[in-house]
Amino acid sequence: MNNGFPPGSPAFPSSRMRRMRRDDFSRRLMRESQLSVDDLIYPVFVLEGEAREEAVASMPGVSRVSLDRLLLVAEEAVALGIPALALFPVVDAARKSLDAAEAWNPDGLVPRTVQALKARFPTLGVITDVALDPYTSHGQDGLIDDSGYVLNDETLAALEKQALCHAQAGADVVAPSDMMDGRVARIRARLEAEGLIHTRILAYSAKYASSFYGPFRDAVGSAANLGKGNKYTYQMDPGNSDEAIREVALDIAEGADMFMVKPGMPYLDIVRRVKSELQVPTFVYQVSGEYAMLKAAAANGWLDERACVLEALLAFKRAGADGILTYFALDAARWLREKG
């Protein structure tokens, strides 16, 4: 009698992998990756006006809020120990234009919001998005020529002004998400020239032309402007991986401090490659479409929201992410605290 093992083999498995899985204490001791509140960045949408709150239909639980309400959200984030917010503006249609000039208006929605957040919560990290899509009448991230092609070098000049405007308002981190070539170098040089040597740059280095951004474009109101347009001439092709490594390497050389892979879950292989091959602070964005999928399944009772969200966030850590932008940040922070 040998317990059903093939003839000639020992009567017991030489390694019992299940031994360490048997009890909670040994599972905890051998767990390689941990998720903590320190890993979370909360993306928020800010609107003009006062006492305004608008739900985003395709992102249940996410609202666009005016500054007074945003301060309450920020207070909650601080109380939960979330290190930073990522700010996205919803710009009134009247302020959108072909030249996107509102993007570097020192009295614009973003600089005013940054000032208010930093005044009230000096220790909360404030990250601003550097890209023209909230400000262009066509919804592209850059300036376009007559054929609709997004112009690289002309856009760089605009991004430089936008990043400077955010940094002067007190943003701790400027995050170019536009995918123009050479933007990190331009922004870095300008910040240095202006004496803003502490402003960090979070480069959206490996940003893919993804269809998972749909709900976000609803949230910031760029979907209608973009219409049938797409971003294939500047965001990365989803089939590529080596190109992501090259993009991150360029942004390292250009002086970025942090490096983003976006979207998240379908691109875990890219997160792993960036971390293993380049050993830089690696961030990942669990984007609006990923959020919408999890919310929709949970709302139908098909998935356990809390368990699946915490599993997805832990998987980002396992893949090598140092930090995660997630619309679940507040919930995740609460769940982690309860577990604590």
Residues 284-303 that bind ligand PBG (CB under 6 A): 287-288
CB–CB of 216/293 below 8 Å?
no
State the nearest-atom distance from the C-beta of 106 to ligand PBG, in Å: 21
- Does 216 interact with ligand PBG (rule: CB under 6 A)? yes
- Does 316 interact with ligand PBG (rule: CB under 6 A)? no
Q: Which residue has the tokens 């220790």?
A: 123
Active-site entry in 96, 228, 231, 262: 262
- Does 229 interact with ligand PBG (rule: CB under 6 A)? no
- Does 213 interact with ligand PBG (rule: CB under 6 A)? yes
Residues with Cβ < 8 Å from 172, sequence gap 6 or more?
84, 118, 125, 126, 127, 199, 200
Residue 118 annotated as catalytic: no
Give the binding range for ligand PBG (CB under 6 A) out of 32-40, 93-101, 129-137, 303-311.
129-137
Instruction: For residues 338 and 243, give the distance between their C-alpha atoms in angstroms, rounded to a whole number.
Output: 41
Name residue 207's beta-bridge partners.
Answer: 262
Instruction: Give CA torsion, residues 285, 290, 291, 294, to 10 deg.
Output: -140
- Residues 56, 131, 158, 261: which binds ligand PBG (CB under 6 A)? 131
Nearer to ligand PBG, 268 or 287 (CB): 287
- Residues 112, 217, 318, 334: which binds ligand PBG (CB under 6 A)? 217
Instruction: For residues 279 and 290, give the distance between their C-alpha atoms in angstroms, rounded to a whole number.
Output: 26
Residue 317 annotated as catalytic: no
> For residue 233, what are the CA distances in angstroms to 142, 152, 186, 245?
11, 10, 20, 18
Applying CB under 6 A, the residues found at the interface with ligand PBG are: 129, 131, 133, 141, 177, 213, 216-217, 231, 287-288
Catalytic positions, please? Answer: 207, 262
